[in-house]
Each structure stands twice: as structure tokens, then as C-alpha cells.
Amino acid sequence: MQQSTFPAGISSALIARAAAQGYAFTRSDAQELGCPDSQLRAWCRTGQLRTPGYGAYYLPPAINNGSSDSPTDISADLFSADREDAVRRIRSIVLTMNDSVVVTHESALLLHGLPVWSTRAVLDTHLSNGGIRTRTRRSGVRMHRSAPALQSMLIDNVWVASAAWAVAQTGCTLGLEAAVVAADAALHAGFTSVGRLGEACTELTGTRGSSALSAHPRLVDGRSESPGESRLRLLVDGAGFDVTPQLVIRNEFGDFVARVDLALDGSPVIIEFDGMLKYRGAAARGALVAEKHRELSLNRLGYIVIRVTWEDLPHPERIVGWLRTAQARTGGRILW
């Protein structure tokens, strides 16, 4: 969790309370520790404090100025700048609720540390309450009726839907692609299994948006290591190409050469997802040089390497065209 810059004049007691609750607190906490409403309003006006309403408050995360010498990679989460802010907002809202509330859907993905790549995923806080019979919505909060089979767990004293359920629920609200991205990450991290994902999808059959889940268990693959790789694999699969993720390439002597993001089955074509936004500093330049040497080694073995970036993903026809051209260039050769 990122650190925070605390508002000027805040008491040590309120700092301790907020830090213990994920940099979030309630109006009741503030009143108990001697902080008046006028001070809370003043901090919110100056941006030192944020509130989603409902008597909930949280401290904004410290800003990362991106001065690292390492390559900047957003593959783990396309909207990482908003992620910590969203987590704190969720935690602050939950503090104002009763103990039967469970964080669900894409909000649960955030608390699990799983990737979200849609801007819609951080706009609303999704919760479930066993005491309500119908879905309700108020500004910034969507309260869902609790499913009897909902599996949940405690994460830092907050009840959160299990990774499998959070993935399946996200499929209902954001669609198949968002669910596969999160599922791949959950499988890769060991948070769930294909079987548990399938069970959660089955339990949600008939729920609004659940039609997107019918193909979900078949499409997930924990070998993919980033949202970009997952989306690229889905795109290529949808175009009718069979691929193997994270294939190890060796030379004629059996020596390791590279582990590649995607290899086109039956063809010496490799697809690499490049999530780097920019290279900066000596360490980053070294990484770029090493990557060039790696690609040259693959070329010498007869492989064609296609590089795809975030900017290419919204243009599937472009990527499919590259693959077909590469296949034509190979002349039907098979290297693995």
C-alpha cells in the first residue's frame, strides 16, 4: 500500500486510526478523536482529504513522480494510478456499513490486488448485503443482493468476495474480456483454480450479464503474465489462431534462448506483448539492449517476432494482418 501525506494539523490519534484502517476513517472516528466537521470540510476543499460521502473519508495516496530508472510497465494494471485511490475509497465506505456487507465484483478484484483495466471498474463501489432483497444504487455505491452460495474472505478486516466469485461477478458487469484478464491473474497468483472459477460462473447463471460467462472457463489460462498478454491471447484466439503462452525456446544444442509470450502453434511465429511505456535511465537502456539481443537470437533460429503494444490492441485487424503476413513469410516451416 502506498504511503500518504497527512493533512496539516491532523492529530496523532487520528493518523493512527486512519493508518490502521487503510488510510480511511469515518466522521464518527473524527468526532471521537476531537476533529470537528469544519476541519474535515477544509481538508477536503484543499485536496488533503477525500470523501465519497456517507460520512466516509480517506487520505489520497502519495503521488509517484515516475523518476525511477527502470522501464515503466503498465501491464499489471492499465489504470494503476487510480487503483490505490479506489481501494481507499472502498475501505472508507465499508467503514460506514454494517458487518454483513461484503465487497464484490470489480471492487473485490481491487482488494485482492488483481488487475482491472476498464475505467468503469473504479467508478462505483460494489457491495453485497444479505439483508436486502433487491439491488439498490446510490451515488458511487451499487448494493447487490447477496447470492446464497457467495464465498467470501477477510482481507485486512474487510469481508471480500473470493477471487473466483469476484472474477465471475466482474464478467457479469464488465464482460468476458475483463473477467478473463482477472481470471488469468488470479490463476497465475494461485488465488483460485479453474474448477472454482467454473463453479462461481455456474452459480451466477441467470444473473443479469451472466451470458458472458458461458465461454469463460475454456478461455482462461494462468500462464499469461499480464493483462496485455491475456487480451492479446483472447484476440488471437478469437481470430482462429492456436497459440501457446510462455513457450520456452531452445537452440539446436538444447540451450535456453527465451521464454516468449505467445507462440503460434505449428508455425515459427512469436507474438510478444510490449507493455513498456518508456525507457529511462541506465537500467532501462540496459533492458532495451538485452531485449534486442534476445530478439536477434530468435531471428537467427528462424523465428519471426511480432511485437504488439497497448496502442495496437484496439485494432485487431492490424494484428491479424501481421500474423497472416508472418505465416506467409514462413512458407509452412514448422520449428516446434
Give me 166's grid cell: 469476484
Q: Rounded distance, CA 166 to CA 321, Å?
A: 35
Q: Rounded distance, CA 190 to CA 327, Å?
A: 35
Concatenating the DSSP letter of every residue in 148-171 gives TT--EEEETTEEEE-HHHHHHHHH
Lowest mean pLDDT, pick from 95-104, 136-145, 289-298: 136-145
Strand order in the sheet with 304-309: 243-250, 256-264, 269-274, 304-309
pLDDT at 62: 80
Q: Rounded distance, CA 317 to CA 323, Å?
A: 10
Indicate the residue type of 203: E
Instruction: Say if residue 123 is in the same domain as residue 198.
Output: yes
Give me 57's grid cell: 473519508
**Confidence band for 119, pLDDT divided at 50, 70 and 90:** low
Convert the pLDDT of each residue in 267-300 to its tens digit: 999 999 987 655 556 666 677 788 889 999 999 9
Q: Rounded distance, CA 177 to CA 88, Å?
A: 26
Element housing 245 (H / E): strand 243-250
Burial category of 23 from C-beta neighbours within 10 Å (exposed 0-12, middle 13-18, buried 19 and up): buried
Of 128, 63, 52, the closest CA to residue 93 belongs to: 52
Lowest mean pLDDT, pick from 76-90, 102-116, 193-207: 76-90
SS3 at position 53: strand
In this predicted structure, the answer to whether residue 69 has a pLDDT above a threshold of 60 is no
Q: If you count them, how many residues does the chain have?
A: 336
Average pLDDT over residues 91-109: 95
Q: Rounded distance, CA 32 to CA 179, Å?
A: 42
Average pLDDT over residues 109-126: 84
CATH code of residue 242: 3.40.960.10
**Confidence band for 76, pLDDT divided at 50, 70 and 90:** very low
Between residues 157 and 65, the one the model is more confident about: 157
Domain boundary among 193, 219, 245: 219
> To the nearest 5 percent, what fractions of the chain are helix, strand and coil?
45, 20, 35
In this predicted structure, the answer to whether residue 134 has a pLDDT above a threshold of 60 is no
**Nearest 5°: phi and psi at 274?**
-105, 105
Instruction: Say if residue 169 is in the same domain as residue 276.
Output: no
Instruction: Say if residue 104 is in the same domain as residue 214.
Output: yes
Domain around 120 = 97-219
Convert the pLDDT of each residue in 145-183 to its tens digit: 888 889 999 999 999 999 999 999 999 999 999 999 999
The sign of the CA dihedral 59, 65, 67, 71 is positive
Instruction: Say if residue 301 is in the same domain as residue 192.
Output: no
Q: Is position 1 within any domain? A: no
Give me 201's grid cell: 460462473
Q: Is position 251 within any domain? A: yes
* pLDDT, averaged across the chain: 88
Domain boundary among 202, 219, 236: 219
Strand pairing category for 276-278 and 72-73: antiparallel
Instruction: Say if residue 19 is in the same domain as residue 110.
Output: no
pLDDT at 137: 62
User: Where would I find the H helices in 78-175?
Assistant: 80-95, 105-112, 163-174
Contacts of 329 (CB under 8 A, 6+ apart): 304
SS3 at position 334: coil
pLDDT at 78: 46
In the chain, how long is the greatest CA-to-CA distance?
77
**Confidence band for 56, pLDDT divided at 50, 70 and 90:** very high
Lowest mean pLDDT, pick from 79-88, 182-191, 282-291, 302-311: 282-291
Q: Rounded distance, CA 41 to CA 51, Å?
A: 9
Average pLDDT over residues 76-86: 69
Q: Are the C-beta atoms of residues 304 and 264 closer than 8 Å to each other? A: no
pLDDT at 74: 44
pLDDT at 244: 97
Domain boundary among 192, 219, 246: 219
Q: Is position 77 within any domain? A: no
Convert the pLDDT of each residue in 186-242 to its tens digit: 999 999 999 999 999 999 988 888 887 877 788 999 999 999 999 999 999 999 999
Q: Is position 2 within any domain? A: no
Count of domains observed in the chain: 3
In this predicted structure, the answer to whether residue 80 has a pLDDT above a threshold of 90 is no
